[in-house]
């Protein structure tokens, strides 16, 4: 996990064996975006991984454009 104070904290729900989860977290590390990894293997309400929680938005799958947009909206909202 990268330490970048300026980036908003997001949660990534993942499992150990999910290749898309690891690709997503590698990408977040490359972008220097701080996140918390949550093991979803024992969470009954998470049926598909990865799920990225940014503010009140939940993005299913490794959807870079949606993640970038959600981060931008969160950042813009915090400036108001």
20 touches 59 (CB < 8 A): no
pLDDT by residue (tens digit) across 50-64? 999 998 899 999 999
Which of these, 30, 77, 33, lies nearest to 55 by C-alpha position? Answer: 77
- Give the bridge partners for 37, in sequence order: 12
Q: What is the pTM of this model?
A: 0.83
pLDDT by residue (tens digit) across 29-48? 999 999 999 999 999 999 99
- Please report, in angstroms and rounded to a whole number, the separation of the first and last CA atoms in the chain: 28
């Amino acid at each position: 996990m990268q330490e970048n104070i300026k980036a908003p904290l997001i949660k990534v729900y993942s499992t150990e064996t999910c290749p898309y989860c690891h690709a997503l977290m590698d990408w977040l590390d490359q972008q220097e975006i701080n996140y918390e990894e949550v093991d979803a293997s024992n969470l009954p309400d998470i049926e598909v991984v990865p799920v990225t929680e940014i503010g009140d938005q939940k993005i299913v799958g490794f959807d870079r454009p949606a993640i970038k947009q959600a981060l931008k909206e969160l950042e813009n909202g915090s400036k108001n």
